[in-house]
Amino acid sequence: EDQVTQSPEALRLQEGESSSLNCSYTVSGLRGLFWYRQDPGKGPEFLFTLYSAGEEKEKERLKATLTKKESFLHITAPKPEDSATYLCAVQARYGGSQGNLIFGKGTKLSVKP
């Protein structure tokens, strides 16, 4: 069964304190792995797509990496405005959920000034 597990569920950081969020997945052939940011009361906002192991993508203080079993979202020197819930999703190439995104439960990040 295709599955996505995100850890930790919640993470509290001080401003400037770098850390990483984890997304572990099992899927019938990975078509793509997606990272989204969700602010309270809003819909998820697309951040990155990763397609193959070894791939990396960056945007401001965020860097996403991918291996064959997991993805990391590294946050360098975070600011309070980076506080949000970060969602990971995978798209399977085969099987019953083929083509549709399977979401993890998210990691709620709080950055204190």
Give residues in contact with other proteins (CB under 8 A): 4, 31-32, 34, 41-46, 49, 51, 87, 89, 91, 97, 99-106
Nearer to other proteins, 78 or 104 (CB): 104
Nearest to 46 by CA among 56, 30, 27, 59: 59
| Distance of closest approach, residue 61 Cβ to other proteins, in angstroms | 20
| Distance of closest approach, residue 103 Cβ to other proteins, in angstroms | 4
Please state, in angstroms and rounded to a whole number, the distance separating the CA atoms of residues 58 and 99: 25
Nearer to other proteins, 92 or 111 (CB): 92
Nearer to other proteins, 78 or 85 (CB): 85
> Looking at the DSSP assignment, which residues form a beta bridge with residue 36?
46, 87
User: Which tokens hold the place of 34?
Assistant: 């997606």
